[in-house]
Structure 1
């Protein structure tokens, strides 16, 4: 099994696309600000899942999954900021995907940590 077989990786790829579509509607002055931060954090999620899966140990893989989870929480906060700035009306679908990704990452982390013993 490779990272490409992981549902969390597949969903995170779709989430990257969603974030890029969302930020395309942000004001132009945010191109190097909030838009860029959201995009980089989104790309970080599947990238860290893939990179971690290629590491030598399960412990290292788990570390990269925690980094992916951190990026997810970063996005959640940045979407709240975008809402406050009136760049988006609601977080809506994105929040549901974030919750799903968080749950999937937590499940994978728990599975890997429990199999390590």
Structure 2
């Protein structure tokens, strides 16, 4: 949702910022996965599957962000 919101902006620097927000939001999801596992809401198999998906997505988003022009100084 962060990427979609950022795509409505007027410049690439703003879009890049929202892509960064999406990475931080995904890190929050990973934290929630750990908490869910520790509290017994999800089993190890669900945790591992979801964690791998989040890890792969995080790498994809980071690679995408690296293709965008860096913010101007």
Name the TM tier (shorter chain). Answer: 0.7 to 0.9
Determine which structure has the larger helix proportion and give its number: 1
Map of 1:38 onto structure 2: none
Q: CA deviation at 1:101?
A: 0.9
Structure 2 CA distance, aligned partners of 1:78 and 1:69?
14
* Structure 1 runs (4+) greater than 2 angstroms displaced: none
Structure 1 CA distance, aligned partners of 2:12 and 2:50?
30
Q: Structure 2: state its 5+ residue gaps.
A: none
Map of 2:61 onto structure 1: 105
Structure 2 CA distance, aligned partners of 1:79 and 1:99?
12
Does 1:76 pair with 2:30? yes
Give the CA RMSD over aligned residues: 1.4
Q: Deviations over 1:80-113 (max 9, x none)?
A: 0011101111211111110111011101110003
Does 1:67 pair with 2:7? no
Structure 2 CA distance, aligned partners of 1:109 and 1:65?
6
